Structure 1
């Protein structure tokens, strides 16, 4: 036991149960020994207390002082816990809410008639040993402190003190940890424990804490509300400061579970210990100052928060938005402190729902030490607020033990003058007398009424005709069985004097909270503004009335990384929390249509992302149009070629009798010019929106026009060779096979072969208009799909065959002796023709979309221009610019 007490009394439940069994056993001498040992180890003075006699006594445990004294941990002597200092006005108001409720019930003629309630209130100072000592004092039947005489024993039998005094139940404590310890201590005896502020979710477990109920909701509701606020306002990067207790640790665990998978992360978690609160507050303030999180969650008691805010004020850290738990979100001590107003401005908190207690303000204002001489807490409050020591009756000192005198002198200022007696709370504006928004005090008030109704139900005799009642006899105030009282307490369903329906759901009550906001006032302090409420797991919030830490209605931003806009995706940074990420643009053909998307989605084939890559839109229909630059350029080139060809035709027609025209087979020249014009014009069929007939006609027109053109050149080449060969001796008959009729017949035969190929191709598997989705772009190409590559290959192959034959023959005739050898011109023209179409094949295969058509049109125009200029340009030059050379004599010169 000694080791455990020196280490914050971390007892196991089994050890405590054994201790209690020894306490409540028949051998009361064992109890005296155990109590004596415990009191010795805990030291004196013990818990300060305040009591009122009654038929049934209700125990009350409050942390009325908040500054614990240092504990000697030298391990050379037993630890001594000296009295705490720093009277806490909030718990003091809770205590008087209990006394007010008891007095109000005692005046009620319908509730507990003939039974007077009493109370015994202990100051636990937030220390676990003092809480446990008070609990054992109650169980042992002691109505005084541990240092008093607990029992009057004669031959091991309890004296009158133990027999007459009965603690029906205990109201307390404010700490979840001490409430768990208290419930485990009193659990084997089924003594009910009603807490007004212990909110740990673990206390809802009825198997572990069957004798525990509370008038405050479980923390799971407020934690979920705070998590919902973080998600609602998109606070993804949060810091946390916790009270180093079960209240803080279990609350942050629940918070982390609530935000899991919702994109919210904790940058840091700092703990504040009550024993080292100042140094811990400095450390936490430094962490907050250096953090990038702009929203800080604080789950602490308000005295710890005040130390933290004072440290932040020293460092001028005023750009943080604080999210408050119910433990400090409504603290008047913080709201009225101008030193921290800049730091705490804009606090958004979850608060215990507020209510009113009629008559409670008048009760508080009527308090006076002269009318309550044994209320040492009121005396201390009086000295603190009025700076004087209240006068007490002469018999006062003689009625109280030396323990009380020592404790009183310890906390009182020996230099304080006596009060004049005119001091009063009637006209004083003080947070202590402010009952406009009662929260925890109302929880205490509800706890007392729940206890009173449970006692009323237990002490009421059952009706004679009601055989279903579990109790066959009436209980008396001096014979209350704790387990029976606990059963009645669990079934309490009452209506308070304020008309509120109240009942327990297991250990809990229905969850209701207020959402509050701290807003600036002209006086430099802060005021509490109700901005919403929490009903169970539902939040109702009026965002328009919230004033944030910036003083505006603009919601603060607290993120590790800025949100990824639509069109991008999140990529987590290696080794960092999921809230820290980079934004990567979606790949081509992919979109993301929401903020902070984890991945991008690929658009269907018929669709393509818009410019922002936030939506899939139908692909724009694309084809080589007459209206676009490329189409206009090609159209202009085709029309220009046809125009030039026509001009050359006119020149040749006008000068058809001249030697240059006649020497080069004028009939074939005119036919060649006609075919070249057709070649230029057929390219226009490829431009424009493809249709069923245009797809068929363009390939046929292209194939036939070029075969006609190349056939003319081939026949001209053959004629040139035949003419020069016929000039040799014995070769006169050669020209008979290449007369005008044979020339025209050859051209017709060559052309008809191409016509047959085209007819078969277009009849069996013609090109058809089709959407080309293979090109991943914002446009879908409407093109003439070549269903049969064999037909297209035969058309091109036949043209190539004629061209290659022509090239070979022209090359053989290039050195024929003539002043104007047309074979040279044909050779150059066919070299260009073949080069264009050889280059056409890879370009055609690799070109995307409509550029396939553009490549084919370019090849048609390039080869047509090559033939036109190489064959006819020199002749036109002589005809128009060098007419002196256009003579038979000049042409015959070798």
Structure 2
């Protein structure tokens, strides 16, 4: 038959001696921590101090009752328990462990004087301060320990702590979750606040690294110590920080005064509170701060069952806790006198006060620890062969705590790189090379993407490469060129209109109006050829773009050359009996324009016949991009076209330069000199820029050269004439042009 379970509260030694103990056949030693230190704290900070302690006890009672009521779990065995309070003191915690192992009465290490069921495991503690020495101590005796609050990664070392397990969320995992939360909420500027101990320093650095990995920045790491002045300076710095979010990490601040200082000085900041701070019930958690916790669904569902509440209320341990927590008198006068003597305060009649059992938050981690321990013991007893209570740790599921591997798994986006003189399971992880992905864990080799695809940022999947060209849709560079070309075309049209309107004036006649019209139309064609360079290239546009601008520029420069030669002939013919008179007229100018333009036309025709330009997809120039561009077909032909234009421009420049000193009535040579100088400068600088750029920017360089050189011709040759025609009409007379303007 199952024995009646009697609880033992080790708050002080006197209480333990007055309380009977009658655990069942199986007993759990459970360490609980409480922050009860003196009478003043009992009166002023009851809720903050006792909520977690009472909630942990209730959760343990939940679990024990569930285990003992389950007929399929540990049949014919009643699980009992003993509860001891560590008071966050390592020495007291170790003393409690020895007391549990020795039995009631005098503590005798290595001897067990108990007459009740064997101790199979220990559950506790909440704090790392006490959990760590308990784990070190129990590893010598081979007893299993399950902590429900200590989450420091150091306890995951199975070599040092083979018998320790935890139901809490690992601190490293919490840091990743917090960093993801910061990223999800769009926070990019936070402050980290931690206790000034070794754990706080270690966790704050780890948390900072995780936050930085997720794209956010940490203003600074503030640490709180036992020095009040230092703490005030730290919290004042947080107040002045532009960061509105403060992330807490490390262990819980040790004193009530320090917690009050924090909640007073940074109450206007939003706090992100980790799971290790669940025991803190403070005003600073109610200002929009975020608290991480694990759902207590099981415990909350139990709390809705009134019949179960009666079971908890009937437990002798809870009755003692009820008496202690709320300073209530019991039916046992001897116990009331003892409690009032120990705590130094008066107890009251609470018969008219209805305090619910579940007013404190249950701790699901305690529930998991107890039930998990019961299942492990059940597996051990169900296995074949002999087993010992100290073997129970072998049957606990180690899904999160146990890891035994030489190297961490290489995540997607990485590949394994074998180390020299190392076994195959020991390897490093290397990022996949450019153009490669890995979409599985621990891949030996990365997969190369298709030529028209490229890895995403994580290098776990191939996506289509970005297509690049000077598109009419959404490309600001294309929009700029369109505006410049249209404005220039409009300006040319206006100038043509002016010249047509004033075609019979002396200024227009003196500058060979027919050549001027040819030059204006060729410049207009040059501006129009810009649109062949914009948009998605095709074979037709690729063939037309280079030949069209080459021929139009050749006509323009040929016209300039003809105008310059005519200036020289006109000056020579102005002398009496000059043989140059027979060369005056339009025939010589047309001949020059036709011959010079025809040569360029012939070069372009041969180019299109032998090796015409064509559209191609360039997948090698820029990683992750497919550049739709025109292949010139024959690079030699392309540079012959440019060289011929350069030759015409050079000849025009030389002739115009030599004719610059002619009389004022023939001073157009000065403007031609400047225009040819600008033209040559643009195309000479264009060639190295053209060769050093890639993709759409290479095309943009050529478009810029076309527009700027065409504007140079237009502005230098025609704007001065338009200025005289519109704003200085008195200069547009024969007398003025012949120099009789005085």
TM-score (norm. length: structure 2): 0.47
TM-score (norm. length: structure 1): 0.40
